[in-house]
């Protein structure tokens, strides 16, 4: 990061909230994503980093609601992590993400073909049957 600090630092969390406020008030998006691939972050990052994501994201959501945002607030989750593909285990789901980010109006999904077992993106099926 350009400031040379981590999101575990409250000052950096404040910068994040200020950025979110600027995006919301200047751009007035229909959807405002506050965090990306939260389940993947939880799976591979130190617990302190994930905790910081939860804190700063929920604080930003609370501030946006207090400022009467019209944006639908959201995060994204990583599909293969939810299915247990990254961990080599069973289905994990996203219940923890829904608990940790209770403000959700929408949920984004991201997927990486190589995590789903596809060596070439062209091999990803067009449907899920």
pTM for this model (two decimals)? 0.85
Closest CA to 23 of 66, 83, 73, 58: 73
Domain annotation covers residue 96: yes
Domain annotation covers residue 42: yes
Domain annotation covers residue 125: no
Number of folded domains that form the chain: 1
Strand pairing class (72-78; 31-35): parallel
The domain in which residue 23 lies consists of 10-109
Domain annotation covers residue 124: no
What does the alpha-carbon distance between residue 50 and residue 55 come to, in Å, rounded to a whole number?
9
Domain annotation covers residue 99: yes
The pLDDT value given to residue 3: 60
Write the pLDDT tens digit of every residue in 26-75: 999 999 999 999 999 999 999 999 999 999 999 999 999 999 999 999 99
């Amino acid at each position: 990061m350009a400031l040379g600090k981590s999101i575990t630092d409250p000052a950096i969390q404040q910068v994040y909230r200020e950025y979110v406020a600027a995006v919301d008030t200047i751009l007035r998006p229909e959807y405002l994503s506050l965090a990306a691939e939260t389940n993947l972050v939880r799976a591979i990052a130190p617990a302190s980093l994930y905790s910081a994501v939860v804190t700063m994201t929920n604080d930003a959501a609370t501030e946006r609601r207090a400022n009467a945002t019209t944006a639908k607030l959201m995060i994204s989750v990583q599909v293969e992590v939810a299915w247990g593909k990254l961990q080599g285990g069973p289905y994990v789901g996203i219940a923890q993400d829904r608990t940790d980010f209770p403000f959700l109006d929408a949920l984004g999904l991201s997927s990486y073909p190589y995590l789903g077992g596809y060596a070439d993106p062209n091999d990803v099926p067009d449907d899920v049957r």
